[in-house]
Structures are given as structure tokens and as C-alpha cells.
Homo-oligomer: A and B are copies of this chain.
Amino acid sequence: MRYDQHVLPNGLTIVGEYNEDAQSVAIGFFTRTGSRDETPELSGVSHFLEHMMFKGSERRSAEEVDLEFDAMGARYNAFTSEENTVYYGAVLPEFQERLIDLLADMLRPSLRQDDFDTEKKVILEEIAMYKDRPQFTVYILARETYHHGHPLGNSVLGSTESITALQRDQMMDYFRRRYAPNNMVVTLTGKYDWNAAVAQIEQTCGGWAQGDSSRTVTEPDALPLERMQPDPKRDRVYLCAVAPAPSAQDDARYAAEVLAEVLGGGEGSRLYWALVHPGIADSADMSYSEQDGAGAFFVSATCDPERTTEVIDLLRSTLATAQNDGMSDDEIARARRKLASALVLRAETPMGRLVTVGFDYVYRRRIEPLAETVDKLLAVATDDVDALLRPKPFDKLTLVGYGPLAEAS
């Protein structure tokens, strides 16, 4: 592995993790903007704009964008979250230049009024479609409830109302502000040609004008809220709970990963044994999510409506027991080995490494070599997890239920 970095005069940063043995190159344009950076009237604009990037530029129509990806046989995609909008692809090394050319061109979109109007319908369909996905609905409700007014609770999709009202000029203005080179990081992983990449990106993106790279970062005020949202159209009850956790900049994040793994990292976790193994719930998982200045633990479960109270009680008592009694050395050792190994296996391909490397730089201005991350994970001790539990994060658990809830529950 070799690490590369170069900053263009306009602030665009290019970083790379070079792997001589890889068979492919993965390239991503990471933009540090998402729903947390939106005002209420712009709700959903980051995600809508992500779609628009595929609709063509001065040089390409939407069809030509698709054709060009296909001509390279690229695996490609894009995603928008609360904090980031990322466009990426993986190709065989001989297509590096074409992939950079395409991604850089897409990110200076035409935002034609026709395309904007058509794509607005697509986004509205997507919002409607997600209403039929209860796991998603409960997650959105839980984020919103837990953050109660904090921008990290903003919905990525936006609402039917906000998208309907959104105008092309507002999107254009948001684009100019946020898709500024000083708010973006280009990440390369795998078998790339560094000098060629830097020269090409300088030529293509060196003229992009600087803009706004600010973000309001405050900690959400976590409270032990409970919200039950009845929907008789669902067959199961969906639960999602949120609790405070270390931020993306906090070294305690390795311990947070281990803690979530012990409690809800699939089969063998405490929540699995308490809820899924005995057939009380359909599923029960926990994960840790790093965010700028504030992390969160997410717990989710689905169950038979009749067992809602039982599942909520078991979920709460499982977390409370961990918080009061801590965890055993064996559990910690097993979880950290499992996490470290999963990390190594995922890192086998440039595409598997791209988002980790990109986010390392976006959040912490430094790419952490895989071996170092593994060492840090394997060094997590029972004391480190205890230190996370001492402030009793689960006393501030926000819990949301969604589905055919009885009046009583």
C-alpha cells in the first residue's frame, strides 16, 4: 500500500490508497453535503441533485452518461446521506481516464428545466415507494424524534411538499454553494496511475470556483423519548431506538463499534439471543453510526404486533443489563476479532475500500491504513467499553414504534 495526496489551488483534495496487486481502480467524488446542510425549504435538495447529476452536462445527455458508464463496463452508483453525497465507480485500470472524465463532467450538470421537471416526478415516486417500506419509515421517524429539531434529524428524501415546492433556481444556488472544490475530496483506490489522475483532475476541475464549505456542528440534545406511530396497514410492528455515541472524530469510536457488535451484531449477539433465537422477534440488530461531531447507536427490531410490549421490555432490559453490569472479556475479544476480520475481507477489492478511505479523509483529514485500523480495533479493552457505558447512554434512549399498535401499548 502507498498513500498519495494532492491539493489543487482551488482547494480540491485528491487522495489515494494504491494497491499494486489490485485488478481494478475505484474512484469516488465525495461531496461534504447532505440533508443536515439543508434548510426546511430545501429539504431533499441534496438527494434530488444527486439524481440530476446523471441527467447530463454541457457535453453529455443523460443517455450519453449511461452509455459511457456501460461502455467501460463500470460498476457505479451514487448515494446521499445526512452528511455526504458520493459518486463512484470501479473499472479495469485501462479505463481510469474515461471514468475520471465522466465523473468530473457529471458534477458540472446542466440542470435543464425539462430534466428538473421530469426528475421531480421520479423523486416524488421514490418518496411514495418508501412509504411501503416500513423498516425505512421507522428509521426516519426515529432519527427525527431523537434529534427533535437538530439538523441531523432532517430527512434525506425530503417530503412530498418540500420537493413539490422546490424550484430549479434554488437547486442551482445550492449546487453552486456546496459543490465547491474546497468542499470535495476525490478518492482513488486500487491500481491507479497517480500522476495521470492528478494532471487530469487539475485540468478538468482546476477551474471550478470555490464556495461554502461550512457546516453547523453541534451535539444533539438526547432525551429518553418514546413515540408510537400506529399504522393499521402494516402486518408487523417495527421498532427503532437511538442513543448517543462517540462522534466520527472521537477515538472512542472503535470501542463503540465493539459495543454495538456485542449487543446487536447479528447471530450470537445479546439481542439475538434474547429476542430472535427464542422466536420472540423476527429480527433485532444494533449498529454504530459515526457522524460529524455526534455519533449514534441504532437498535432495530421487528415483531408480531401482539408481542410489542414484551419485545420493548426485553430490548430495554438487554441494554440496561449491559449498561449496569458491563461486558465480559470474552465477548469483547470475540466482537473485536469479528470486526477486524470483516474489515480485512471487505478490503480485498478497491471498491470495498473506497468509501472507508474517502470518509477517513472527509471526517479526519487522514487515511488510516488498514493494518492500523485492525490494530486499534484489536486493542479495544473491556475498560474502553466500560468507559462508554459509564455515562449511561441508554438512559437517553429514544424509542419509536410503527405498525399496527394496539391502543394500549
Contacts and interface: CB of A to CB of B under 8 A. Distances in A.
Interface stretch (A61-69, A102-110, A142-150, A216-224): A61-69
A276 B122 contact: yes
A318 B57 CA distance: 28
Contacts of A132: 134, 234-236
Contacts of A276: 122
B342 A70 contact: no
Contact of A21 (B21, B120, B125, B278): B21
Given A125-B304, A128-B304, A268 B67 contact: yes
B268 A70 contact: yes
A92 interface: yes
A126 to B, nearest CB: 6
Interface stretch (A34-42, A250-258, A343-351, A359-367): A343-351
Contacts of A334: 67, 70-71
A71 B335 CA distance: 9
B54 A118 contact: no
| Number of this chain's copies in the complex | 2
A337 B277 contact: no
Interface residues of A, number: 62
Contacts of A349: 345, 348-349, 352
A72 interface: yes
A270 to B, nearest CB: 12
Nearest to A305: B128
A279 to B, nearest CB: 3
A271 B33 CA distance: 32
A74 interface: yes
A73 B338 contact: yes
A129 interface: yes
Contacts of A98: none
B63 A268 contact: yes
Interface in A333-385: 334-335, 337-338, 340-342, 344-345, 348-349, 351-352
A267 B54 contact: yes
B92 A344 contact: yes
Given A92-B344, A282-B125, A131 B235 contact: yes
Most buried by B among A126, A134, A338: A338
B71 A345 contact: no
A119 interface: yes
Interface of A: 21-24, 54, 62-63, 66-67, 69-75, 90-92, 118-122, 124-126, 128-129, 131-132, 134, 233-236, 267-268, 273, 276-279, 281-283, 302-304, 334-335, 337-338, 340-342, 344-345, 348-349, 351-352
25 contacts: A22-B348, A54-B267, A62-B277, A63-B273, A66-B267, A67-B334, A70-B334, A71-B334, A73-B342, A73-B344, A75-B345, A118-B278, A121-B278, A122-B277, A122-B279, A124-B279, A125-B279, A125-B282, A128-B235, A129-B235, A129-B236, A129-B283, A129-B302, A233-B235, A348-B348
Given A125-B303, A233-B233, A348-B348, 18 more contacts: A23-B345, A23-B348, A54-B267, A67-B334, A69-B268, A70-B338, A73-B337, A73-B345, A92-B344, A118-B278, A122-B277, A128-B236, A128-B304, A129-B282, A129-B283, A132-B236, A348-B349, A349-B352
